[in-house]
Amino acid sequence: MKKILTIFTSVAFLLSASVFAHDHDGHGKNAMAGDHFKKMDTNSDNKVSKEEWQKFHEGFFTELDKDADGSVTLEEMKAARMEKREEKKEAMKEKVKEAKQKKDEKKKKTSE
Confidence of residue 110 (pLDDT cuts 50, 70, 90): confident
Residues 30-83 have pLDDT tens digits of: 666 788 889 889 999 999 999 999 988 888 888 889 899 999 999 999 999 999
Distance CA 96, CA 91 (A): 9
